[in-house]
Structure 1
């Protein structure tokens, strides 16, 4: 019996090479590459927190998309760029140039196979800018491949509504949101501690912040003794379930809209589908 690319999986590593060729040849063929990190997340969360979030939430997002949509995923990239956390044992961080080179090499090979879009689905806030650089360099080298660097927590609407201040703006790492989401996705990996640490005792000058429009290149040890930057004391599986629901629904809608469009402009896909 002839094998087709519709084998009931969206994981590229589970396809035979003729199935992958068929998948890549479909109009608008898109690959999502989830990125995490291997870094301390306080005394209560595992080192692979960001990778677990990107991996499991992406699976849930893809499960809910119509089967006919031409979208597949790569295995999660577990090691990332985390120099801000190297003051805590257990953190493993790749050099920036190595991670960028990985994006260039793998992206070029996906383009060679015929895929038209690559979405970098990133769960680690400390490498947002780095993945944007890698995406830009890959696009310059392979203009036929659309490259879209995305951050897990900043795409869908309504995430901030679930968090009150100051946690909404200051809970940057292993705080209320991440601890709650882990309690929902993998409660067996969550320790009993609920630290509150790293919150600013003095407000920055007007217009400045740790992250935002005018950010600082902070190190975790500048702020925290536990590795936590935020307040995890109110974490709950109930909040985690609400965060999961909004993240999954938001990304599902975003990817479905992307696949139904000729976005982004200028790529071979976009140019080929414009009237």
Structure 2
């Protein structure tokens, strides 16, 4: 759980007023999901990752910086995991409306930036669209949607090439990271499932296409996997999880330091064409 020192909701209203009226005031909203992660990982996997990594990053930033976190949004947009018990999913329009309403109130209170710190791959595009919609409603609020695993240097060196490309869900990376962050929540099974592991499925998408990437398709987990895993978790370890955690923290610490030291994004202004 995030330290009260880093949580906006741990402040009183006069403290929030003063905080959000500081130059460069930045609010980070961690996003996860409540969805199946195979037989070995909890439903809260993405939410836990977003909150725990953000906690470490905020604790390492200088305490005088104007940055605070909201409580994690623990239920997201997860229709691809429908059919597996425990998966809960908000509709796309509801999640967009939630972001618009909360973001608008933050903007009205004086916040200058809102970072959407998302750990669920299935809602990357939706949060990008929601961010643009919120910005149209409140041009004074810079909205920065990001994905926990995107652009992190060094991940390729830690994961086998095929797993880095195809271990999309509850595979080696996520199982290892959970072993490092909350080992008591990890079950004993180590499934390998999804592409290349079910002879009734095509071995790969057609040339130039992929499950995710430059030319993705809208897939459902139940079409690819009987266990809910898309990837190979057999070599998962706490040691690998610690290395992944260090890479993630280093990456996001650098990104937040750069953001808070900058004037980016530019304040809204009318551009005459």
TM-score range, shorter chain: over 0.9
**How far did residue 165 of structure 1 move?**
1.9
Report the counterpart of residue 39 of structure 2 in structure 1.
43
Kept in 1, the 8 Å contact 2:33–2:46? The answer is: yes
CA distance in 1, matches of 2:136, 2:149: 27
Q: Which runs of no fewer than 5 residues in structure 1 stay unpaired?
A: 1-6, 269-275
Report the counterpart of residue 167 of structure 2 in structure 1.
171
CA distance in 2, matches of 1:88, 1:118: 33
| Aligned match for 2:84, one of 83, 88, 109 | 88
TM-score (norm 2): 0.94
| Aligned match for 1:12, one of 4, 8, 12 | 8
**Where in structure 2 are the equivalents of 1:206-245 lying within 5 Å?**
206-245=207-246
CA distance in 1, matches of 2:63, 2:4: 9
| Aligned match for 1:23, one of 19, 24, 28 | 19
Report the counterpart of residue 63 of structure 1 in structure 2.
59
Kept in 2, the 8 Å contact 1:155–1:251? The answer is: no
CA distance in 2, matches of 1:44, 1:193: 6
| Aligned match for 2:75, one of 76, 79, 99 | 79
CA distance in 1, matches of 2:173, 2:267: 37
CA distance in 1, matches of 2:268, 2:260: 14
Q: What's the Cα RMSD here?
A: 1.2
- The one-character-per-residue Cα deviations of 1:207-256 (angstroms, maximum 9, x if unpaired) are 11110000010000110000000000000000000000010111011001
Judging changes above 3 Å, is the alpha-carbon distance between structure 1 residues 110 and 238 closer, same or farther for their aligned structure 2 residues?
A: same
TM-score (norm 1): 0.93
Kept in 2, the 8 Å contact 1:44–1:191? The answer is: yes
Number of corresponding residues: 262
**How far did residue 199 of structure 1 move?**
2.0
1:246 aligns with 2:247: yes
- The one-character-per-residue Cα deviations of 1:11-38 (angstroms, maximum 9, x if unpaired) are 0111000000110011000000000000
**How far did residue 8 of structure 1 move?**
7.0
**How far did residue 190 of structure 1 move?**
0.2
Report the counterpart of residue 139 of structure 1 in structure 2.
135
Kept in 1, the 8 Å contact 2:4–2:10? The answer is: no
Q: Which runs of no fewer than 5 residues in structure 2 stay unpaired?
A: 197-201
**How far did residue 266 of structure 1 move?**
4.0
Q: What SS is found at the alignment partner of 1:138? A: helix
CA distance in 2, matches of 1:168, 1:8: 35
**Where in structure 2 are the equivalents of 1:180-219 lying within 5 Å?**
180-200=176-196, 202-219=203-220
